[in-house]
Structure 1
Amino acid sequence: MVKPMLFALAVLPALALPGLAQEKPELTVYTYDSFAAEWGPGPALRTGFEAQCGCTLSFVTADDAISTLRRVQLEGTTTTADVIVGLDTAVAHEARESGLFVDHGVPAEALVLPEPWTDPLFLPFDYGYFAYVYNTTRTPNPPKSFEELIALPDDFKVVIQDPRASTPGLGHVIWIATAYGERAPEIWAGLAPHILTMTRGWSEAYGLFLDGEADMVLSYTTSPAYHAVSEGDDSYAYAEFAEGHLPQIELAGTLASSDQQDLARQFLAYLVSTEGQAVIPETNWMYPVVPLAALDPAFTAQPQPAKVLSVEEAEIAANSRAWIDTALEALR
């Protein structure tokens, strides 16, 4: 009777044998498509975190960080998200006003950023600067300011992104408003003849640029590092503008409705750990927020902008709608 008894125990469901099997806790992270893509940081971060948390990490994606925020806003307290990854400083005020987030609980004082970070609600995990990227073989003498760009013949074309749907598109609008203030409508009017098109997202815009449809594309100061590291092509650079450049700081936050608050904090701590940050530069193609000894020299081949612009969150909250309308009116 021993063997039949052992067989019976073996086929009993796990629920009938407490302690022999336990369901792993699951952490659900809302993010944008490229973050969770096979070439993005998501897979490696999931592998590294799951190895130490005894949990399952799941990504739920949307086209863009703005779309991700919209989804959480629509779902409200019924959202299945525990963490959102990929907000940025341009939409932080809107996320904050939603009341859906709680303090992240991770020390951030030692993080390396364009400006000191004191916000307890959102945790920075990478950053870059908005910039126009060009190919040095096709454009050996790029403009060195918005005004130089405007002064070029109308057949010099750039591709930008829609500020209503794209975080770089929104950052572009804030960049011009911050650099030029009341002169922003004049700058937009001057840019209009040079804008080949305004795409919904970054990927479409960058693809048009790579296809030779435009001379420059709105992107990041880190984009040339991608070409140098992944393609062995060092012919790409960003045009440093005399007006200065606006940083984009990407953020993560914990949902107040999550029933995995401790696990969420552990994940955010892992995201800004040396191990987690080592994944970021060559998958998300942004600067890390902790010093990395193994950072590829391509990220420092062209220095970060000499002049860094800054704008208060309250100013973005008060004016972003009007700044967007100014840009769209000039492009009609």
Structure 2
Amino acid sequence: MHHRLIAGLALSLAALPAIAQDKTLTVYAPDYFASEWGPGPAIKQAFEARCGCTLDYQTGDLLPRLLLEGERTEADVAIGFDSTEMKKARETGLFAPHGVDTAALTLPIDWDDAVFLPFDWSYLAFVYDNEALKDVPGSFAELVAAPDDLRIAIQDPRSSVSGLSLVLWAEEVFGDEAEAKWAELAPKITTVTPGWSEAYGLFTEGEVDMVLSYTTSPAYHAIAEADDTVSAAIFDEGHYMTIELAAQLKGTDDAELAQQFMDFVVSADFQSLIPTSNWSYPAALPEAEWPEGFRELDMPEKAIWLPEDEADALRAPAIEAWRQGMSR
């Protein structure tokens, strides 16, 4: 009898890993996140080693897909929301509290949102070749007043979150004068692209002198390419922050596994992967633990951040000021 009990117990224990492996966490993410050059593969490997489960990425445009699927969504977690999308995402009613102690966060602003959890962040900035461009604007106002032969590429705020962040940044800096400042800047803006990658490609190909990107962009060139010729112009008025977010779905079939992933997001194992895979500042890792190339980056003295209601209210007038100013 004892032998049968022991044998049965051994069989039960042997079956546990197989049962755990049958668990799948479905994570919706943007295409870049799960690509081979994004942070997704390393995060998947690290989390699966913890959970004994399978992490399945489904990629595409997060918010449009979730709005289409509604409560029928198969997602357990969604990761990769830009902070400019928070209000629209919250209004879907699809998300549950993340259940994570936000005291672990190391953002330059206070964050206590119960639903959306930051996993990385950066400052918007105009990036340039420091060997080719010597007269570098030290403020947004100086950029506007720069000679018209300066060639700049930006992203369209109607199709790009970085472009939208730019027009919100300009509204915060210039207020009622934003439209006039866009008109003054317009001759220097040689290209407006649908997204970030097209604009940045023009910069790396030498087609433009400056490109709208992030203060973390030079870290990629320094670390991945051993190239220290790329810098970010630091403006006196401060820089607009962009934050990327994760959230868990109310309708998840495995709330415990989804919570385990949310806890993992602020762990050192997750956060240490962010700088050199997503080329952003980690949201929950002390600066002393950042890679050297990130600790050496020039940082703005002031963070510009708009709460979601304020940013949403400013979105339409900021885009319209940009459109009117650019068309003068």
For normalisation by structure 1, the TM-score amounts to: 0.89
Cα distance in structure 2, aligned partners of 1:165 and 1:258 = 30
Match for 1:312 among 260, 282, 307?
Answer: 307
Aligned to 1:137: 131
Match for 1:324 among 288, 299, 319?
Answer: 319
Aligned to 2:248: 254
Q: How many positions carry a matched residue from both structures?
A: 311
- Structure 1 segments (4+ residues) deviating >3 Å: 18-23
1:34 aligns with 2:32: yes
Aligned to 1:296: 291
Cα distance in structure 2, aligned partners of 1:330 and 1:319 = 16
Q: 1:296 to 1:209 in 2, by over 3 A?
A: same
Deviation at 1:319, TM superposition (A): 2.0
Cα distance in structure 2, aligned partners of 1:56 and 1:188 = 49
Aligned to 2:99: 105
Cα distance in structure 1, aligned partners of 2:311 and 2:34 = 28
Deviation at 1:312, TM superposition (A): 2.4
Deviation at 1:241, TM superposition (A): 0.9
- Secondary structure of the structure 1 residue equivalent to 2:102: coil
Aligned to 1:43: 41
1:57 aligns with 2:55: yes
Contact 2:181 2:325 in 1 (8 A): no
- Secondary structure of the structure 2 residue equivalent to 1:314: helix
Aligned to 1:76: 70
Contact 2:151 2:210 in 1 (8 A): yes
- Secondary structure of the structure 1 residue equivalent to 2:104: coil
Aligned to 2:152: 158
1:124 aligns with 2:124: no
Residue ranges of structure 1 left out of the alignment (5+ in a row): 1-17
Share of identical aligned residues, percent? Answer: 48
* Greater shift in the superposed pair: 18-27 or 113-122: 18-27
Cα distance in structure 2, aligned partners of 1:299 and 1:217 = 20
Aligned to 1:241: 235
For normalisation by structure 2, the TM-score amounts to: 0.90
Cα distance in structure 1, aligned partners of 2:299 and 2:33 = 23
Deviation at 1:33, TM superposition (A): 1.7
CA RMSD in angstroms, aligned pairs only = 1.7
**AA in 2 matched with 1:96:** R
**AA in 2 matched with 1:260:** D
Deviation at 1:150, TM superposition (A): 2.1
**AA in 2 matched with 1:42:** G
Cα distance in structure 2, aligned partners of 1:203 and 1:20 = 42
Aligned to 2:12: none
Match for 2:22 among 21, 24, 45?
Answer: 24
